[in-house]
Structure 1
Amino acid sequence: MQLKGAAERWGRVLISEYLYAKLDEFHKIIQSGEVAIIDFWATWCGPCRVISPVFEKFSGTDEFSGLKFYKVDVDEQQEISEEVGIKAMSSFMAFHNGVKVEELVGANSQVYNSF
């Protein structure tokens, strides 16, 4: 994946892989005024790997072009995971203007479609 600019870096890429995000960068993302959908996952989590292609598919569709999609590896970004209270994998959260507006725990793609 080639990155072209700040908006693209912040939009549809893995936070831990490309931004090496710290907690303050995470705050900027969730307080940006745009809706941020975040997949909290782990490399060792089987269900996370199963649902990941569904999440990534949504991030590339016109239907969801007004949303920003991010993935946070909970092992690499423990400070972020602790702040938002991750208790189980896979966890998805939607933030708008710094406020968590939705949360879904589990990797059930049918439930995820309603998120």
Structure 2
Amino acid sequence: MAVILSSDNDFQEVINSNQKVVVKYYADWCGSCRLFSPKFKRMSDDENFANIAFVDINAETSPEARKLANVTNLPFFAVFKNGQLLDSVAASKEEAVLALIHKLDA
């Protein structure tokens, strides 16, 4: 599945219309964020995660979405289940993000 590019305008709708969502918060100036993008795209294409929506959101231009997950650092990842924040992590390691994603099935 393609990574959904979201903003404050449609973020609530995206997390409420998908049962399981993983969000990557990034900024254009963040080198680690750019380096993680291909990994995030690969995860979104993984058939094991076919029932999960993958969302990219610019933390600088979407303050409301940023507040919902209490973003502290970038890149920052959060998982939402049934519209509610389940957990989050500030990391640039694939293993940390995969562990976060697996919490959606717990």
Q: TM > 0.5 between the two?
A: yes
Q: What 5-or-longer segments of structure 2 have no aligned partner?
A: 101-106
Q: Check the 8 A contact 2:74/2:91 in 1, yes or no.
A: yes
Normalised to the residue count of structure 1, the TM-score between the two structures is 0.76
**TM score, norm. by length of structure 2:** 0.82
The answer (yes or no) to whether the contact 2:18–2:53 under 8 Å persists in 1 is: no
- Where structure 1 has 5 or more consecutive residues not aligned to the other structure, the ranges are 1-7
2:28 corresponds to 1:47: no
- 2:96 counterpart SS class: helix
Tell me the distance in 2 between the aligned counterparts of 1:102 and 1:50. Answer: 23
What is the count of residue pairs matched by the alignment?
100
Q: Which has the larger radius of gyration?
A: 1
Report what 2:3 is aligned to.
12
Q: Structure 1 segments of 4 or more deviating over 6 A?
A: none
- Do residues 109 (structure 1) and 100 (structure 2) align? no
CA distance in 1, matches of 2:76, 2:82: 20
Question: d(CA) in 1 for partners of 2:33 and 2:3?
Answer: 17
Q: Answer yes or no: is the 8 Å Cα contact 2:20–2:79 preserved in 1.
A: yes
Q: CA RMSD in A?
A: 1.8
- Percent identity for Structure 1 against Structure 2: 22
* AA matched with 2:12: H
